[in-house]
Amino acid sequence: MLSPQTPASTVQDTDPLITNTLTALAQGFVPAFRDLSNGETHISTLSNGEYLDYHTMDNLPIEWVESWDDEGYAVALKPTIVAGYIRYSEFYSLLDIANPRLDG
């Protein structure tokens, strides 16, 4: 686990997923989830609707959740639900973020 005092260079050297996530956030990407079966997309939010800068399964549509823990928190989603980001109304999966298509 990273502490608040962890230098950014250490984060980048440690985990490419963290680096890609930080880059995505800096470029205006908002954490979201999409149901691949119908294209429905939901931004990661608190129960009051406030947008989050990280992915959470809480507050997603109840029909997307496959199982909950003893405290009522979502712990598994349907197989058709994928995490990703929204930017300018376009959805990008985590795979898209990790392997961006380059114009050439």
pLDDT score of 96: 84
80 neighbors 36 (Cβ within 8 angstroms): yes
Distances (CA, A) of 12 to 6, 8, 21, 57: 10, 6, 11, 26
pTM of the full predicted structure?
0.70
pLDDT score of 26: 58
| Per-residue confidence in pLDDT tens, the chain, 104 aa | 444 444 444 444 555 555 555 555 557 789 999 999 999 999 999 989 888 888 999 899 999 999 999 999 999 999 999 999 998 889 999 888 788 777 65
64 neighbors 70 (Cβ within 8 angstroms): no
Amino acid at 100: P
DSSP secondary structure code for residue 72 in this structure = S
